[in-house]
Structure 1
């Protein structure tokens, strides 16, 4: 049985839903207020978004 939507479309929809949630909940502002920072590489916000998208 083939999926209704291709994997790339599902992945894009999931990514946009996670991004929308993070914007509405102002997660980036909370990370900034809690002084969660990194010296190099990706931002902490991107890493946490990635972790959330793995759970879903």
Structure 2
């Protein structure tokens, strides 16, 4: 393994891991957002109904 090959493999490894963590973070954020939406809807169903019919 030459130094250039090592650098390339490290770079690929970093890219794969970085994209994986970004994807994971995105999924977590979406889950949290939907959970927050769910709690606000549960807390105030009258408001939602009012907006729907109003």
Q: Give the structure-2-normalised TM-score.
A: 0.44
- Structure with greater proportional helix content: 2
Higher RCO structure, 1 or 2 (CA under 8 Å, sep 6+): 1
Greater C-alpha radius of gyration: 2
Q: Give the structure-1-normalised TM-score.
A: 0.43
